[in-house]
Every structure is written in structure tokens, then in C-alpha cells.
Amino acid sequence: MDRFIDGIELVAAIFVGIVAADVFITVLLRYFFSIAIPDSYDFGRLLLGILIFWGIAATSYRGTHITVDLVWANVSPRWRRVIDVFATLVLLFVVTAQTWTLFDKVVTTRADNVQTFDLRIPNWPFYLMAWLGDVSAVLLIVVRTYRLIFRPELMPGGYQIKPVE
């Protein structure tokens, strides 16, 4: 399972590099050579969308997204775990609903034959790649929920709480 998790994080990291390279090369060519890459804006926004959804997958499992720990930091370890399980279940519900609606967007984008402006490249494969990131997020949140409830010692950062008996 850890290889699968690492693979998802690797895909997210690759898209960070691709987006950074796209922006850097586009700005460099435009500023120094007055050359514009065809569809660079479209590629940038589509790749950024993919990056966001794969980033959601990577941060959802690790629990490294933005949190408010005012209550969590001031309760016992047992209640911390209860809060973590509840928050993860809410996150699972939200991301599952988001995945469902994004799949509809993939289907309608393909059916409507939406394309990039200059090169006329179909947009739906980019949407599909983003949707796969969202599916990965759901899978990782399920793994996180299972591990929080039944195997807390496997959680990142050494979650040192005994399983509920």
C-alpha cells in the first residue's frame, strides 16, 4: 500500500515540475524572444487543474492540508483520534461528491468536443487525468480512515495512539 501512496505522491510531484517548467519556458520565450508557445495558456490552466487534484490526493492521506488545531491540540490523544476520524470521514464525503461531479465534467467535455484554442487539442484527456487524481484522493482517504481506526501506528508521523478496543 505504501508503494501505491508513494506513486500517487510522485505523480503529483511530476505535475508540479511540468507546471513550473511550462510557466518558466513560456515566460522566458515571451520575455527574451517575443515568442509565444501555441496554447501555452490552455496547457497551463489544464495542467494546473491536474496538479490541484493530484495534490489533493497527496495531502489528503498525509493530513498536511490546511488545518485548524485549536481544539485538537488541547484534548487528550483519544479525542484527537476521534476528531481525526470525523474530519477524515467528512473529507471522504466531500471528495467523493467532487469526484462524482468531475466525472460528469469529463463526459460532457468529451461529448461537447471542447478543444484548445490554437492547436485544437481535445480538453477531455486533461479532465480525465484530473479525475484520476480525484479518484486517487478518494482511495487514499479510505486508506487513511482505515488506518486511523484500525492501524494508527501506520499513519505518517508515527501516530502513537493505541487502537480502540
Q: How far apart are CA 156 and CA 30, in angstroms?
A: 43
Q: What would the pLDDT profile of 118-138 be if each residue is shown by its tens digit?
A: 999 999 999 999 999 999 999
What is the tally of structural domains in the chain?
A: 1
Q: Do the domain assignments include residue 161?
A: no
Host domain of residue 137: 2-154
Whole-Å CA distances, 147 to 62, 90, 106, 162:
12, 16, 31, 12
162: which DSSP letter?
A: P
The answer to the question of residue 33 being in a domain is yes
Q: Residue 165 above 50 pLDDT?
A: no
Residue 160 lies in a domain: no
| Residue 69 belongs to a domain | yes
The per-residue pLDDT for range 73-99, each reduced to its tens digit, is 788 888 888 888 898 999 999 999 999
To the nearest 10 degrees (0 to 180), the angle between helices 124-150 and 77-111 is 160
- Does 11 map to a domain? yes
Least confident interval from 25-34, 54-63, 91-100, 155-164 = 155-164
> Is there a domain that residue 81 lies in?
yes
Q: Specify if 6 maps to a domain.
A: yes
Percentage above 90 pLDDT, the chain:
52
Contact predicate 63/146, CB 8 Å = no
Q: Is 95 or 8 the better-scoring residue by pLDDT?
A: 95
